Amino acid sequence: MIAPPKRFSRRVETDTIAHPKTKTPKRNPMRPLAAISTLTLMTLLLQACSGFHFPKLGLPRVHKITIQQGNVITQEMIDRLKPGMTRSQVVFVMGNPVLQNPFNKDRWDYLYLLQIPDGGSIEQTVSLYFKNERLSHFTGDLAPSSQSKKDEETEEKEPATQEMGSG
């Protein structure tokens, strides 16, 4: 009986490359590098999901800025608001309102938001109400200070006098 002929096949593995001069297979140098980089990437992704925090090494970080939105509302502005002021006088003191309700033209809302990086945030709101185109009252996070009330009382009691300078 005759044995079947042997088949010679050049089977080249995916991780080897035939050397051009010696025709002998040589390992692909990129294969281990790809395996190491894949393993490193998977490790980093798993650490990111686990809540592991790297220690602060003093390396440069992303710069975070302080964000201000809306109208800046100061105590001085609130102290200058008086009932009976016209809308244009209020705009002069407070600036244009952030929100004007299209269904209620007699209410103006002033909002101020300050977001501090790696900290909290500060939010202030003031709502102004008008009757007959005049400021009737306002509500919000700030109230007129007691010093401004004392100044008003002293102005009402003592009329302002101007001194003439000698020249």
Q: What pLDDT score was predicted for residue 88?
A: 92
pLDDT band at 102 (very low <50, low <70, confident <90, very high): confident
Q: What is the pTM of this model?
A: 0.51
Q: What is the 3-state secondary structure (H, E, C) of 64-110?
A: CCCEEEECCCCHHHHHHCCCCCEHHHHHHHHCCCCEECCCCCCEEEE
Mean pLDDT along residues 61-66:
81
Domain parsing of the chain, residue ranges: 16-50, 67-143
Distance between CA atoms of residues 18 and 21, nearest Å: 9
Q: How far apart are CA 102 and CA 141, in angstroms?
A: 23
pLDDT in tens, 106-157: 999 999 898 988 778 889 999 999 999 999 998 988 888 875 555 555 555 5
pLDDT digits (tens, 9 = 90+) for 36-49: 888 888 887 776 66
Mean predicted lDDT score pLDDT of the chain? 76
Of how many residues is the chain composed? 167
CATH class for domain 67-143? alpha beta
